[in-house]
Amino acid sequence: MNVFVANLHPSTRGEDLKTLFADYGNILSAKVIMDKVTGKSKRYGFVELESDEMGEKAIKELNESEFQGNTIAVKHAIKNN
């Protein structure tokens, strides 16, 4: 399951997201989206978990929680086809 994470702290990196989601199952990937021009964080990212069940649990437990000083939004990622 692919999860969208928003309102990240500007210094948050993919490794930080891996640590945050580690209790929710095997993480296939975790990345923070960076602006190509400035090199700065766009303050959102994606975490892909192996299990839909654990992804649902992560969304339920982490949405509107505090992480690195910010209240984050954790939701289902929308697939572009």
In the beta sheet, which residues pair with residue 48? 2, 29
pLDDT at 61 over 80: yes
Residues 75 and 4: their CA atoms lie apart, in Å, by: 5
Residues 10 and 13: their CA atoms lie apart, in Å, by: 9
pTM value is: 0.92
pLDDT at 81 over 60: no
pLDDT of residue 80: 63
pLDDT band at 78 (very low <50, low <70, confident <90, very high): confident
Q: Which CATH architecture has domain 2-76?
A: 2-Layer Sandwich (3.30)
pLDDT digits (tens, 9 = 90+) for 19-59: 999 999 999 999 999 999 999 999 999 999 999 999 999 99
